[in-house]
């Protein structure tokens, strides 16, 4: 049976189709979370909150054509919102996460409006300033935000019906994966909607899009706001999974590694964001293990992971210029072509 025939059996409505996908991925993740030990569940949760951020960022960069170096700071907004609401106000998890998404979206509006007037390096510079400047706010109001020390919260407790042996880490993985699935569902539908088409039109040719009656600035500001909301949710999930919000957790390197994630994963595709999340979580761990498997002096072996990380990224971009997802797509395409040509023979 060919892939096309299988695809034809899927429901025609985008909404239903994406819902089916989300349920399918959810079931897979549910099963996987039971197979993993507590630490790997925590890694899964890490991957899930990175996916939420990367999905929003890849939509912004790949569909709307805007670059942002400020998403680490937007994550901080979400993380601090969750830490303050859960730690000080005693909110439940879901409303706190919803509030983090909303607050970050509101912060994203003025940044997005400003960003819609800037292009290329100027846009990168403006968002970069945002990433550098925002953590200082935590220092300025150290009474509320805990200064350099940041905030800590208690871990979420799993409901008792899951049993006493159900680990906190698995519960965290469930929450983070649920958040990631919400992002997947919303962004999938958004990219397929009229708005998604408007974004692509704006990305490809702003003047032509404007001539067609699209409001270029408004479309870009909207894309930035949605992307900020995703980063806020991701940051909120980070706070929940790691139980912290601290300036040192959101350095400039975080914003840069998020950008690395979407480029290496495959720009503009949600699957690429998933690959990117996997790279961000697993690559540092592998490079660390690799670096310490050689017996080198401490100075060398502690800096080697960074060097290996860089080499792997350069290598990946040389082999797959369109990211891992591009590479996978090329492989699948090649395999399908090879099979169909064999069937013809």
Partner 1 sequence: MASPRIRSIGVLTAAALAAAALAACGSSSSSGSSAPGVTKTSITFGTHQPLTGPAAPGYSEIAPGSQAFFDYVNAHGGVFGRKIHLTIKDDGYNPTNTVNVVHQLVLQSNVFGIFEGLGTPTHTKVVGFLNASKVPDMFVASGCPCWDKGTTQPYTFGWQPNYTIEGKILGQYIKQHFAGKKVAVLYQDDDFGQGGLAGIQDEVPASQIVAKQAYQSGVTTLAPQITAIKASKADVLVDFTVPIYTAIGQLTSFTLGYKPQLVVSNVGIDPTTVGGLLKTISKGKASGTGLIEGAITDGYLPSPTDTSNPWIQLFMKIHAQYDAKAPFDGNVEYGMANAYTLVQALQAAGKNLTRQALINAVNTHGASWTGPGLVKYRYSSSDHGGFDGAEMGQLRNGKIVLFGGAKSTDPSTSGAITPVTLSPAVPPANGVPSGQ
Residue ranges in 303-342 that form contacts with partner 1 under rule CB under 8 A: 303, 305-306, 325, 328-329, 332
Binding mask 277-306 for partner 1 (x = CB under 8 A): xx--xx--x--x--------xxx--xx-xx
Smallest gap from Cβ 61 to partner 1, in A, equals 14
Q: Which of 248, 310, 315, 321 binds partner 1 (CB under 8 A)?
A: 248
Say if CB 291 and CB 304 are below 8 A apart.
yes
Residue 189 near partner 1 by CB under 8 A: no
Say if CB 19 and CB 184 are below 8 A apart.
no
Residue 60 near partner 1 by CB under 8 A: no
Q: Which of 116, 225, 243, 260 binds partner 1 (CB under 8 A)?
A: 243
Residue 32 near partner 1 by CB under 8 A: yes
Partners of 245 in beta bridges:
151
The tokens describing 238, both together, are 């980070």
Smallest gap from Cβ 78 to partner 1, in A, equals 14
Q: Which of 46, 116, 170, 198 binds partner 1 (CB under 8 A)?
A: 46
Smallest gap from Cβ 258 to partner 1, in A, equals 13
Residue 264 near partner 1 by CB under 8 A: no
The tokens describing 191, both together, are 């990219």
Residue 89 near partner 1 by CB under 8 A: no
Residue 136 near partner 1 by CB under 8 A: yes
Only one residue has tokens 């909110």, namely 91
Q: Which residues contact 168 (CB under 8 A, 6 or more apart)?
A: 38, 155, 156, 157, 158
Nearer to partner 1, 231 or 270 (CB): 270
Q: Shortest CA distance to 80 belongs to which of 245, 240, 234?
A: 245
Query: Within positions 90 to 109, which residues make up the interface with partner 1, using CB under 8 A?
Result: none
Residue 81 near partner 1 by CB under 8 A: no
Residue 165 near partner 1 by CB under 8 A: no
Residue 149 near partner 1 by CB under 8 A: yes
The DSSP secondary structure of 116-158, one letter per residue, reads TT--HHHHHHHHHHHHHHTHHHHHHTHHHH-GGG-EE-PPPPP
Query: Of 24-32, 89-97, 120-128, 219-227, which segment contacts partner 1 by CB under 8 A?
Result: 24-32
Q: Which residues contact 118 (CB under 8 A, 6 or more apart)?
A: 126
Distance CA(60)–CA(67), nearest Å, equals: 7
Quote the Cα angle for 68-99-89, to 5°: 130
Residue 218 near partner 1 by CB under 8 A: no
For 152, phi then psi, to 5°, come to: -120, 145
Residue 150 near partner 1 by CB under 8 A: yes
Strands (E), the chain: 151-152, 244-245
Residue 44 near partner 1 by CB under 8 A: yes
Residue 233 near partner 1 by CB under 8 A: no
Q: Which of 53, 82, 233, 274 binds partner 1 (CB under 8 A)?
A: 274
Smallest gap from Cβ 270 to partner 1, in A, equals 5
Distance CA(179)–CA(204), nearest Å, equals: 31
Residue 25 near partner 1 by CB under 8 A: yes
Smallest gap from Cβ 217 to partner 1, in A, equals 23
Distance CA(136)–CA(150), nearest Å, equals: 12
């Amino acid at each position: 049976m060919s892939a096309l025939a299988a695809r034809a059996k899927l429901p025609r409505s985008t909404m239903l189709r994406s819902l089916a996908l989300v349920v399918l991925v959810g079931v897979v993740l549910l099963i996987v979370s039971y197979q993993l030990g507590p630490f790997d569940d925590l890694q899964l949760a890490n991957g899930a909150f990175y996916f939420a951020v990367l999905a929003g960022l890849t939509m912004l960069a790949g569909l709307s054509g805007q670059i942002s170096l400020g998403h680490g700071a937007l994550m901080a907004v979400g993380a601090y919102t969750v830490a303050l609401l859960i730690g000080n106000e005693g909110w439940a998890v879901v409303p706190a996460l919803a509030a983090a998404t909303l607050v970050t979206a509101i912060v994203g509006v003025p940044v997005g409006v400003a960003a819609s007037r800037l292009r290329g390096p100027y846009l990168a510079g403006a968002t970069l300033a945002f990433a550098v400047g925002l953590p200082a706010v935590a220092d300025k109001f150290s009474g509320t935000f805990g200064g350099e020390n940041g905030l800590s919260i208690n871990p979420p407790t799993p409901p008792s019906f899951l049993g006493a042996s159900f680990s906190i880490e698995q519960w965290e993985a469930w929450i983070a994966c649920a958040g990631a699935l919400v992002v997947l569902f919303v962004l999938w539908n958004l990219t397929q909607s009229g708005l998604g088409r408007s974004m692509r039109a704006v990305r490809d040719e702003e003047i032509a899009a404007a001539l067609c009656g699209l409001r270029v600035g408004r479309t870009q500001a909207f894309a930035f706001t949605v992307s900020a909301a995703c980063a806020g949710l991701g940051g909120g999930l980070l706070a929940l999974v790691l139980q912290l919000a601290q300036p040192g957790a959101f350095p400039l390197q975080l914003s840069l590694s998020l950008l690395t994630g979407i480029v290496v994963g495959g720009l503009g595709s949600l699957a690429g964001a998933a690959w990117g999340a996997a790279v961000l979580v697993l690559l540092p761990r592998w490079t660390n293990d690799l670096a310490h498997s050689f017996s080198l002096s401490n100075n060398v072996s502690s800096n080697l992971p960074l060097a290996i990380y860089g080499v792997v990224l350069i290598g990946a971009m040389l082999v797959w210029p369109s990211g891992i997802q591009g590479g996978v797509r090329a492989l699948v395409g090649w395999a399908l072509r090879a099979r169909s040509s064999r069937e013809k023979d």
